[in-house]
Structure 1
């Protein structure tokens, strides 16, 4: 039996040695063989040389892929899943915010024939900026209200999956990937382990607030068409409202000889209607943009180098 550990890395030169030291302690306590798949996602520091040294010292179980540029964590996860050979596959962050010791309990639980995936869920967000925590909770509330795929608040990408579930995930060839939604969409029986939030062991996060906000919008668009319906509702309400207002003005003028007064009110109405139109066009444009990227059929990532050397 083999367990594949997928570890995306972007500018993580300080974290990799610490992570490997901790995960090796867990490996020695388990009865299953390990393979590590590190993905260098276009790092600009010494991440790649460190991964090469790690491979040279542990080439029986350490593998790495190095992208030609930064393609993002979603691409790194997808690449890791495609190259994983294990009977079980787990995805972990290299900054040790995903507690490696949970693998022991996760592996024990997944031995049950009724369980296909053991996920992890943060029950607190201690140490996280208040604004980021607020918007994260708001995202889960919104996506679970308007989406067709339920997502667990606080769920991490850190999970242990069976080979069958991983193969089902790989059957989804979409370019615009949102793993949290994909993990849920494919189904399978999933149980969650709760744990207290941990701060990263070293280095700094590469996710800014606006990147996370954009990522959240991608999740909503990928797993819900409610925004398109909302654009239709806004257009219908605006149209009905303008008809009612027009009738009101005509009746008032006929009964009271009271012409429509002033241009400021007219300008405000024009700006309001124009804003609604731009909002609706923006919503439609986001969906069209996703379709545009899908139809190009570009690869999600390009591997420049792996443990065998430069790819040509």
Structure 2
């Protein structure tokens, strides 16, 4: 019996790319022993993505799909695919063909060589806006310095995993998911295969700079307590600085009398301290907000249809 590999493909407004990724992956497995099982997750698309998936399913019983009731995001789509697919191996791929299907045989070979997870690592960002590349590299430097969970720079969600790895990932039932961190946190024997950046085939990415920035902040908060420690040290430093300043003022008043008060400087100090307090409250508030969302125990996604 042929081994099966679940191809999990989150889709949001990818009507042109759906048939392309299907053909590209199918071509890779034509001469191989593995049987691909396609799982398209329609993440609230507003175009004809679902119709394109229906058309594929009508001609191939190996095509399955999950249709979300609305857009729940890529993280929820990946989780839904891993929850519902049953196979000997699992992989996650973007529908825009930026994850080269021709890498799959080499990744599967890594699994056969004894690795539990084989991922793709993008080693250059040719064609990507320089400002986005700069902040992406900066994010990896910051999170790997602050977090005990080390994330490989340029690592993609595109990877091949064994059922044991998938079971470990699904055992983390947290609502605030940052999969790059989760993949690293669960451990297992992992290999990364480098590759050059591939341009998107059709359409535009749904990831704006703002959404990527928010995603990176969520990743930092999910896998590091360093921001809270940073706030604590700011508070401690402010306390010591205020104590020294107070001692200086008292001694100066005893030796030279009380000088004319400096109202502008006093207002500036008040504004500075108030700004620090608001900054600290903002960081603490992000953590509290995460706790609040977790305690609600809302489902990660709601499916209108699963076939």
Kept after mapping to 2: 8 A contact 1:19/1:95: yes
Deviates more, 1:254-263 or 1:127-136: 254-263
Provide the C-alpha distance between the structure 2 equivalents of 1:278 and 1:260, rounded to a whole number of angstroms: 30
**Is residue 249–residue 260 contact of structure 1 (8 Å, CA) maintained in 2?**
no
In structure 2, the partner of 1:140 is: 140
Deviates more, 1:133-142 or 1:244-253: 244-253
1:16 corresponds to: 18
The list of structure 1 runs, each at least 4 consecutive aligned residues, that deviate by more than 3 angstroms after superposition, is none
Q: Does the CA-based 8 Å contact 1:97-1:200 persist in structure 2?
A: yes
Within 1, Cα distance between the matches of 2:22 and 2:78?
Answer: 18
Q: CA deviation at 1:23?
A: 1.0
> Following superposition of structure 1 onto structure 2, how do residues 97-108 of structure 1 map, counting pairs within 5 Å?
97-108=98-109
The SS at the match of 2:101 is coil
Q: CA deviation at 1:260?
A: 5.2
Shift of 1:258: 4.6
Structure 2 equivalent of residue 310 of structure 1:
none
Q: Residues 134 and 260 from structure 1, CA distance in 2 versus in 1: closer, same or farther, beyond 3 angstroms?
A: farther
- The residue aligned with 2:165 is 165
Q: Which residue of 2 aligns with 1:36?
A: 38
**Whole-angstrom distance in 1 between the partners of 2:143 and 2:163:** 28
CA contact (8 A) 1:39 1:67 kept: yes
CA contact (8 A) 2:26 2:36 kept: no
Q: C-alpha distance in 1, partners of 2:113/2:231?
A: 46
What SS does the aligned partner of 1:66 have?
strand
Q: C-alpha deviations, 1:10-37, integer Å up to 9, x for none?
A: 0111111111111111011221111000
**Aligned residues of 1:9 and 1:40 also touching (Cα < 8 A):** yes
* Aligned residues of 1:175 and 1:293 also touching (Cα < 8 A): yes
Shift of 1:257: 2.0
Asked whether 1:125 is paired with 2:108, we answer no
Q: Distance in 1 between matches of 2:78 and 2:139?
A: 22
CA contact (8 A) 1:9 1:39 kept: yes
Cα distance change, pair 260–66 in 1 and its aligned pair in 2 (3 A) = farther
Structure 1: distance between partners of 2:73 and 2:29: 28
Does the CA contact (< 8 Å) of 2:67 and 2:305 recur in 1?
Answer: yes
More displaced 10-residue stretch of structure 1: 46-55 or 283-292: 46-55
Secondary structure at 2:305 match in 1:
strand
3-state SS of 1:101 partner: helix
TM-score, normalising length: structure 1: 0.96
Alignment pair present for 1:254 and 2:254: yes
Unaligned runs of 5+ residues in structure 1 are: 308-312
Whole-angstrom CA distance in 2 between matches of 1:56 and 1:35? 14
Relative to structure 1, is the Cα distance of residues 148 and 42 closer, same or farther in structure 2, using a 3 angstrom cutoff? Answer: same
2: CA distance, partners of 1:70 / 1:184: 26
Conserved 8 A contact 2:7-2:92: yes
1:89-119 Cα shifts (integer Å, max 9, x gaps): 0000010000000001111121023x11111
Instruction: State the 1:214 CA deviation.
Output: 0.3
Q: In the TM superposition, what whole-angstrom CA distance separates every residue of 1:30-59 from its partner, at most 9, and x where no partner exists?
A: 211110000000001111111111111112
Pick from 28, 31, 34 the counterpart of residue 26 of structure 1.
Answer: 28
Tell me, yes or no, if structure 1 residue 7 matches structure 2 residue 1. no
- Deviation of residue 252 (structure 1)? 1.3
1-side partners of 2:267 and 2:60: how far apart? 70
Q: Secondary structure at the match of 2:159?
A: strand
Equivalent residue number for residue 284 of structure 1: 284
Q: Compute the displacement of 1:178 (Å).
A: 0.4
